[in-house]
Amino acid sequence: MKEQPFKMLLLATVCIVMFSACWGFYPDDPAIEYPEGEQEGYQPIYAQESDLEVKLTEPREILLPGKIYTKNDFLFLIEPNIGIHIMDNSNLETPEKIGFLEVMGVTDMAIRNNVLYVNQYSDLVAVDISDINDVKTKSREHDVLAVNGGLMYPPQYGHFYECPDRTKGIVIGWKFTTIDSPQCF
């Protein structure tokens, strides 16, 4: 019986020690001191809104074939992160490339009733292709396909990074490089 309070004290101490292990490791910890001057860290790679514009261009060389999609006699081949090759496959012996749809950040697509649905990085975009020579972006859902916070955070935890700045464009990736007086961790 006499040992009981001691056991309780020991338990409490163990608990406190265990929890204290968690303190100081959160990214928003005010105790973090942001270093002055040049260091190694992550820097956002920006694209401008105009870079994300979906538009038809001349046929291009196939570099790294991605996913495929068919619609009637047309065949779509994704060139990951660059765009979509459009092919006329009405003659199986002589399929031909008829255009290239620039879609920066694309990895997959689907078509329904003259509307092309594509991803651009974490955005989901609906593009009216009823006149393929004059494609029009109908709507864009920002970051709706984002995974783990999307591209607003660097790919790896535990590094200082340059805070993303929306006025510089849209973050489409990160590079590990020399950065100056980072304010994010």
Partner 1 sequence: MKKLLTIFITILIITSCEDGDISSSSFAGTGTGGSLASFMVTGKNLYVLAGSQLKTFNVEEGDGLEQKSTLYLPSWLETIFLYETRLFVGSNNAVHFLDIDDTDNPVYISSWQHVTSCDPVVARHGIAYSTIRVTDCRSGRPETRDQLDVINIKDIRNPTLLNSQQLDTPFGLAITANYLFVCEQGGISVFDNSDPENPVWRYNAKLGEGVAKDIIVRNGHLIVVTTEGIFNVSVDDDGMLTQRGRITD
1 is a site residue for partner 1 (CB under 8 A): no
Of 100, 104, 118, 101, nearest to 46 (Cα)? 104
Q: How many residues bind partner 1 (CB under 8 A)?
A: 56
**Measured from the CB atom, is 56 or 179 closer to partner 1?**
56
Counting contacts by CB under 8 A, is residue 155 touching partner 1?
no
- When binding is defined by CB under 8 A, the residue of 8, 32, 48, 138 that contacts partner 1 is 138
Does residue 106 bind partner 1 (CB under 8 A)? no
**Residue 178 near partner 1 by CB under 8 A:** no
Query: Measuring CA to CA, how many Å separate 182 from each of 29, 33, 42, 97?
Result: 15, 10, 9, 47
Q: What sign does the dihedral 119-122-124-127 (CA atoms) show?
A: negative
- C-alpha distances (whole Å) from 177 to each of 39, 46, 118, 161 are 8, 15, 31, 10
The amino acid sitting at 33 is: E
Task: Name the one range near partner 1 by CB under 8 A: 1-9, 23-31, 88-96, 163-171.
Answer: 88-96
Give kind and range of the element (H or E) at residue 173: strand 170-180
Q: Which residues pair with 57 in a beta bridge?
A: 100
Say which DSSP state 184 is in: B
74 binds partner 1 (CB under 8 A): yes
If binding is defined by CB under 8 A, does position 98 make contact with partner 1?
yes
Q: Is 61 in the site for partner 1 (CB under 8 A)?
A: yes
Report the interface residues with partner 1, using CB under 8 A. Answer: 61-62, 64-65, 67-72, 74-77, 85-89, 91-99, 107-117, 119, 122, 124, 126, 129-133, 138-139, 141, 144-148
